[in-house]
Chains A and B, each alone.
Chain A
């Protein structure tokens, strides 16, 4: 007979590297757990945290970012059993992280390069992070649907605010805990659970957001309209269902969250 009372986990939002309750104090029930129901204010706090973390993350070398993403994969592998998602979902997510860990120092020459201009200048175009990327994760698969959009944004040196699966937020919230041990700096990834219809518009309409990736197949018109207020970049995509669909067109995912900068430097006198 086991009399020991199990210790239940308190799920929290992940904002600025800290685990916090929704400022609204609201929660929803998911099985035996209480899940914070994030608010518009939580979204704003998360965008502010992501904006604050953006310079440091973009300032790391591509090699360093690759190692951090790879360590993220390592950490997820070691915690795979603790994630409240199907094993296949977790494994595909790990592999997607490994895939994009390798992109961090490779997409630049693929998307940019030296421009052979007809004048005495060294002209080159380099993809840079667009800044803070919003991800609206699909309901399913609960982990890969998120990681497939999160990983390219991070690989391209952006910081992220993600609205998690509304049906199954636990795997996404678990992922925040994995990040805590994976050297992903605080604020680089921010995770919010709650009602998509409330959170996604707050995210899309935030003027400090640079781009939004919507993998839900819903809310397209509303997100587009709100994004237009500050010329925010938008990518709508269908949910990644397995490793193959998450990595079938990585360049499109990377392009959607980068800005090509062209520099001209004089050559000669």
Chain B
């Protein structure tokens, strides 16, 4: 392993600037949010949610057992007809309230998100929480306009949606799932991720404060078993899952023959392509954002960096230099760029994949920096000399690790970018407009960013090709997974 000389600047050049957690008022223990209130688990358990940066307890949280999941589905079923019977305007007004309350409690939510998941406060404050509010605001406005979003077709809700979200953007993914489902007149049972349930429970408080009718949303934290139970519940009408491709395949198989609509937003190994005519300094910033944003715990992370041969050495050198200036550490420090790895399990996975990269002959460089004594950390890492067959070039690492490959021609870049079972996202760095459009059209990826990366907006569809899943979230297309064409009313007359 190549190393860099010990950085001297990073420790002293900024004074610590921690965001204060004083205004956070967490309960000691959270129940399962079912039928409008926090309930004791019946056959579930209580577990401690851990801050991955300190290994201290954030809060105690109830985990749902199978009976609890059943209870949640029953509550959602009971509430669904009433919720669907509300006018679209009234449903929308509840969602607008939720959006506003998220904005009001934004600071608290951001701090808790960083405590529970390890992400830098700068990101939870500037990305996760504002986007969560924006999603509710966007879909609130759809609630009374649904048929316009469906090509003029008459529509009806599906019923009860079972929704499972991952640990990398806990509150934001909850918003992505709940906002469209509710706008369309469905009720929901949401299962937050095992390691990051707390902000979803704060969202439950917000739903109470918004006076959302009981039963419209249930929030039942739990581990993978709870998710497996939820998707196998007989009385659900829709499943939406964001997470790994392997679990997504299991869910698709579990639903076989049941006729339940499914949306899958799965893993990725997204190519970030740098052409020789790109603005290279700008590209380097984009590469950093693409792979080190949220410690690389991003399904669409630009984890395969494809650089045109003529500029590869320059870009790698600039990138390595820039990586040396990343500040790794306390997620609550406003100057932190890279926070804590979400869990011990994830740290072990990253460590194992990085070790495989070295074993298979790629050249590793890891930034040398002081890491806190406690918590889970992985310093930003760059691999060169990567062959397409290496595990680090093919498998999702989901950590702050970028694999560099090179290409000579545009055709080769496209071929390499598409040569993966995944198809979630891609980046293109070039100053030639026509080339950007041509390459964007040729990439098999659900989202393509030109001269930028990791941009999200509630009005823009997000979702994958191939084994990165199917169905879209965001915008008009995000409505379709939660509606059916009402065949009793032809809508558009042909």
Contact = CB atoms under 8 A, between A and B. Distances in A.
Contacts of B259: 220, 236
Contacts of B255: 224
A230 to B, nearest CB: 6
Interface in B451-469: 451-452, 455, 457, 459-463, 465-469
A266 B451 contact: yes
A204 B476 CA distance: 30
Interface in A241-269: 244, 247-249, 251-252, 255, 259-266
A227 B252 CA distance: 8
Contacts of B448: 261-264
A5 interface: no
Quick one: which of A116, A130, A220, A265 has the most chain B CB within 10 A?
A265
Interface string A222-250: 10110111110100100000001001110
B450 A262 contact: no
Given A262-B448, A263-B450, A228 B463 contact: no
Contacts of B450: 263-266
Given A117-B457, A117-B459, A260 B466 contact: no
A111 interface: yes
Interface stretch (B53-61, B346-354, B439-447): B439-447
A221 interface: yes
Interface stretch (A18-26, A73-81, A119-127, A158-166): A119-127
Contacts of A265: 433, 436-437, 440, 450-451
B302 interface: no
Contacts of A236: 259
B303 to A, nearest CB: 19
B134 interface: yes
Contacts of A260: 446, 461, 463, 472, 477
B475 A115 contact: yes
A113 interface: yes
Contact of B452 (A227, A229, A264): A264
Main secondary structure of the interface of A (DSSP, over half): mixed
A251 B153 contact: yes
Interface residues of A, number: 41
A118 interface: yes
Contact of B477 (A117, A125, A230): A125
A264 B447 contact: yes
A7 interface: no
B1 interface: no
A259 B447 CA distance: 11
Contacts of A125: 460-461, 475, 477
Interface in B308-354: none
A262 B462 CA distance: 7
A262 B446 contact: yes
A62 B125 CA distance: 44
B134 A230 contact: no
A97 B4 CA distance: 64
A129 B472 CA distance: 15
B457 A110 contact: no
A229 B249 contact: yes
Contacts of B461: 112, 115, 125, 260, 262
Contact of B490 (A116, A225, A248): A248
Contact of A247 (B446, B477, B494): B494
Contacts of B153: 249, 251
A200 B339 CA distance: 49
A68 to B, nearest CB: 21
A262 B480 contact: no
Contacts of A119: 455, 457
Contacts of A112: 461, 477
B389 interface: no
B459 A116 contact: yes
B476 A113 contact: yes
A225 B257 CA distance: 8
B384 interface: no
B117 interface: no
Nearest to B457: A117
B450 to A, nearest CB: 5
Contacts of B444: 259
A41 to B, nearest CB: 23
A121 B450 CA distance: 10
B38 interface: no
B249 A231 contact: yes
Contacts of B296: none
B411 to A, nearest CB: 12
Nearest to B450: A265
B452 A115 contact: no
Contact of A231 (B150, B252, B446, B459): B252
A61 B462 CA distance: 25
B248 interface: yes
A118 B134 contact: yes
Nearest to A210: B466
Contact of B457 (A115, A228, A247, A252): A115
A228 B470 CA distance: 11
10 contacts: A117-B459, A117-B460, A119-B455, A119-B457, A224-B252, A228-B256, A229-B249, A230-B421, A231-B245, A255-B480
Given A111-B151, A252-B485, 17 more contacts: A118-B134, A125-B475, A221-B257, A228-B253, A228-B256, A229-B253, A231-B248, A231-B266, A244-B494, A251-B151, A259-B465, A261-B445, A261-B448, A263-B450, A264-B455, A265-B440, A265-B450
